[in-house]
Structure 1
Amino acid sequence: MKPRHLLLSAALPLALALAAGPASAETLKVTASFTVLADVVKQVGGDHVEVSSLVGPNGDPHEFEPSPADAKKLKAAKVVFVSGEGLEGWMDRLISASGYKDKPVTVSEGIKTRTMEEDGKTITDPHVWNSPVNVKIWVANIEKALSAADPADAKDFQANAEKYNKLLDELNTYAHSKFDKVPAEERKILTSHDAFGYFGREYNVSFLSPVGVSTESEASAADVAKLIEQIKAEKVKTYFFENSNDPRLVRQIAKATGAKDGGELYVESLSDKKGPAPTYEKMFRYNVEQLSKAMQKSS
């Protein structure tokens, strides 16, 4: 019979190993530039990531003013995600202030972008996420970056990405089912600024707006007058304002044209948790429902 102390010493490593459980990678600290992107990163990263957004709910990613707390948040991140295409004009300054050493991952790389004329210049429209077809490219870029930062959990990131891509396909099908049956002449909407270009391209909807791609630009009196005439000529019947923008100008134009108030859309920012658009999925569905409802009333 073996001495009791030898049995205990032999059993102790096994007990400690069982108590510790399977080895797991450390949760990745990830920072995204704005809430829409932060949500998509969370969907791909799942339980393996802790995601924070620099621009908060209902915030404007064009006019965001970073704080010292944001610089600290950025420096602590293992991976930083931006949409790119000129959306986050403040990011380079924030990187310099924070001391963040790596290069942010630009998730919009690979998307077929659209260009437009604004103030005599040709610029790229950065609002790519308003088409779920484009968000699938986001997902591929996010999965690749997370897998590089945390190879141990790459299979989980791949599984999450595949699952989320199926959801994005469902959202695209849902939007087409709503808009395809609306007569083309009724698919016209007045909004605060030109952020629905990719949405319009995908679902053949015309959006008119007094402000260009960035909310930092201002509409001139001549531009507003021209837009009013265009709205009257094209018989645009409904206007919407955006959760992250000042609605006063679009309301003035609507008053001059007789367009009816369709409510609020979520375009560049999610709502808070209590609002109607706390995730990308809910944001997209909500916008589709509001817009299609207004079009159906018009027709």
Structure 2
Amino acid sequence: MKLINSFYAGIASAALALVAGPALAHDVKIVASFSILGDMVEEVVGDMAEVTTIVGPDADAHVYQPSVADARAVAEADVVFVNGLGFETWSDTLIAESGTKAVVHVATEGVTPVMVDGTADPHAWNSLSNGVIYVTNVAAAMKEAMPDHAADIDANAQAYIAKLKALDAETKAKLAGLPAERRTVVTAHDAFGYLADAYGMNFLAPVGIDTEAEPSAKELAELIDQIKSAGAAALFVENITSPALVKQVADETGLEIGGRLFSDALSERGGPATSYLTMFQHNLGTLLEALDKAPAS
């Protein structure tokens, strides 16, 4: 994705505004690339540091175009966290052109990627065991950046990891009871491969792992045939994508739309998925409610 010239100019201005010198621990500025990762970082650092998120709630990081304000935030940051695995196609340019002196950390370091047509699926957070890896990486980075707060950071991380592991066990237990004919569902784009692998589900989608790639008429027809032959039990829209394709699939297959899943971003304040934990709980509840209502094949 190419960034426009005015954006480069804005980045240059932000870089000139960068204030050199080490920050005090309570003044440490952290930038996270998108809302789910930002929430994880906030859980780990608590009120010990300032966290800025570039791609906010209900926004699509795949097609995001950074602003001058984003460049300024990165330029002034002490620590930057990105997802990696090709998720933020814009991040390398943003970081390089900002002139930031921040230490950049990839939150998916150590994750075993799911491969889709030879490409790493970046949506690793959709497995809670991977969520533990994210949090462990964030905690390690922040203990290095804020050594005087290492004990508090570690305590926050361990408490958070305990919650993630408990929800992981709950998710496995609840999904284990689904019969085979109710384990195939359809979503707007291919964001749930890690959830499928972790919990024994099968997800089909009209759009691949990158929301920019629209399916051709032939590809959509082939997917509809696959959905019919696989006996998909439910169909879901997502918070970051247009529901138009999903509605078309619903019309063609007769499947009812079972609700909205949160795939790549949290919900706005007041929504059902304002944190990583509540997002996963919402998605689990929405899946189970729809699949419980699905007619037996």
1:108 aligns with 2:108: yes
Residue by residue, what CA displacement relative to the aligned partner does 1:247-275 show, whole Å, maximum 9, x if unpaired?
11121011100010111111100001110
Distance 1:25 1:263 in 2: 43
1:70 aligns with 2:66: no
Q: Which runs of 5+ in 2 are unaligned?
A: 1-23
How far residue 103 of structure 1 moved from its aligned partner, in angstroms, is 4.3
Residue by residue, what CA displacement relative to the aligned partner does 1:9-53 show, whole Å, maximum 9, x if unpaired?
xxxxxxxxxxxxxxx942321110000000000111112121111
Distance 1:25 1:215 in 2: 38
Matches within 5 A, 1:14-53: 25-53=25-53
**Aligned residue identity for 2:57:** P
Distance 1:219 1:146 in 2: 41
1:201 aligns with 2:197: yes
1:152 aligns with 2:145: no
Secondary structure at 1:241 match in 2: strand
How far residue 75 of structure 1 moved from its aligned partner, in angstroms, is 0.9
Residue by residue, what CA displacement relative to the aligned partner does 1:63-93 show, whole Å, maximum 9, x if unpaired?
0000001000111111000010000000012
How far residue 97 of structure 1 moved from its aligned partner, in angstroms, is 2.9
Secondary structure at 1:143 match in 2: helix
1:271 aligns with 2:271: no
Distance 2:26 2:183 in 1: 49
**Aligned residue identity for 1:91:** S
Distance 1:25 1:213 in 2: 38
Matches within 5 A, 1:235-250: 235-250=231-246
Matches within 5 A, 1:172-187: 172-187=168-183
Distance 2:224 2:91 in 1: 35
Q: Give the aligned partner of residue 93 of structure 1.
A: 93
Secondary structure at 1:81 match in 2: strand
Alpha carbons 2:272, 2:278 under 8 Å: kept: yes
Alpha-carbon spacing, 1:28–1:103, altered in 2? closer, same or farther (3 Å): closer
How far residue 96 of structure 1 moved from its aligned partner, in angstroms, is 2.8
TM-score normalised by L of structure 1: 0.89
For the pair shown, the structure with the greater C-alpha radius of gyration is: 1
How far residue 293 of structure 1 moved from its aligned partner, in angstroms, is 1.1
Aligned length: 272
Moved more, 196-205 or 227-236: 227-236
How far residue 131 of structure 1 moved from its aligned partner, in angstroms, is 0.8
The share of aligned pairs that are identical, in percent, is 42
Give the 4+ runs in structure 1 shifted more than 4 A: none
Distance 2:165 2:136 in 1: 14
Q: Which runs of 5+ in 1 are unaligned?
A: 1-23
Alpha carbons 1:108, 1:138 under 8 Å: kept: yes
1:192 aligns with 2:209: no
How far residue 126 of structure 1 moved from its aligned partner, in angstroms, is 0.3
Task: Determine which of 275, 284, 287 is the counterpart of 2:280.
Answer: 284
Distance 1:48 1:184 in 2: 47
Distance 1:235 1:283 in 2: 27
Q: Give the aligned partner of residue 84 of structure 2.
A: 84
Alpha carbons 1:184, 1:204 under 8 Å: kept: no
Alpha carbons 2:78, 2:101 under 8 Å: kept: no
Q: Give the aligned partner of residue 13 of structure 1.
A: none
How far residue 176 of structure 1 moved from its aligned partner, in angstroms, is 1.2
Distance 2:254 2:25 in 1: 58
